[in-house]
Amino acid sequence: MLVKFCGATTVAEVTDMTAAGADLVGLWYGVPGGRSELTIGQLADLSAVALGTGRLQPVLVTFSSDAPSLLAAVTAARVLHVQLHGYQSPGVVRALRRAGPEHLKIIKVLHVQQGGTCVEERLAGAYERAGADWFLWDAVTADGRLGSTAQPLDDAAVTGLADRTGLPFLLAGGLHAGNRADFTGARAHPRFLGIDVDSAARGSDGLLRTGRASAVNHAWRAV
């Protein structure tokens, strides 16, 4: 199972996520107004720190639909994972697949409303054909907020959506050390890859912290 913690902004956070046993760390680029937004230089620097651990893989997390800009950032930061939040078209996925590095993993976030309706479900097949590698199921709030909402999804809704789509998936949305048991269906799904966590890994200062992240990691990897 993969464990990803999202929104690192400092070298200490990246190294703390390595110590916590994470596999992936999310680095925000092209998230206007985002609390964890990085410049391209900061993205490259933190990506280098993650890659230097020999374990942790950096993930470029973005709301951008500007494929040339994203490809430039991928090259500058040497990332091999791009997570497309927001409502990018399948054409953006196709452009990244055609022009990106050979081993680039393209993660398309699909947003699930309260009640279990997926906003982009009708486009899932188009994303798959365009070259997406993984989906990530995340919550959208009633007022339309995306990403880092701390709003959990319904397990049955996730498993139903996963059954109707064809890619491996990560699970996000309000995950923490105490709610693993709420997602027995998702965890048992044959295409379940792992989890993506933000809020539950942060200390009172708002930074990602080893102890908080370790608690999530250990709880979700428990046999």
Is the confidence at residue 143, as pLDDT, over 70?
Answer: no
The amino acid that residue 209 corresponds to is: R
Is the confidence at residue 21, as pLDDT, over 70?
Answer: yes
pLDDT at position 117: 84
**Percent of residues, the chain, with pLDDT higher than 70:** 96
Per-residue pLDDT, averaged over 59-80, amounts to 97
* pLDDT tens-place string over residues 85-116: 989 999 999 999 999 999 999 999 999 987 78
Number of Cβ within a 10 Å radius of residue 34: 17
Q: Report in angstroms the alpha-carbon separations of 58 from 27, 94, 153, 221.
A: 7, 21, 25, 21
Is the confidence at residue 29, as pLDDT, over 60?
Answer: yes
pLDDT at position 119: 85
Per-residue pLDDT, averaged over 46-70, amounts to 97
Number of domains in the chain: 1
Is the confidence at residue 191, as pLDDT, over 90?
Answer: yes
Domain that holds residue 114: 2-221
- 3 state DSSP class of 134: strand
Is the confidence at residue 144, as pLDDT, over 70?
Answer: no
Is the confidence at residue 132, as pLDDT, over 60?
Answer: yes
Q: Tell me the pTM.
A: 0.95
Phi-psi region of 150 (alpha: psi -120 to 50; beta: other; left: phi over 0): left
Per-residue pLDDT, averaged over 176-188, amounts to 97
> How, if at all, do strands 24-28 and 105-112 pair?
unpaired
Number of Cβ within a 10 Å radius of residue 176: 17
> What's the mean pLDDT when you consider all of the chain?
94
User: What is the C-alpha separation between 69 and 160, in angstroms, rounded?
Assistant: 35
User: What is the C-alpha separation between 94 and 48, in angstroms, rounded?
Assistant: 27
- CATH number of the domain where residue 73 is located: 3.20.20.70
pLDDT at position 100: 97
* pLDDT tens-place string over residues 210-223: 999 999 999 999 97
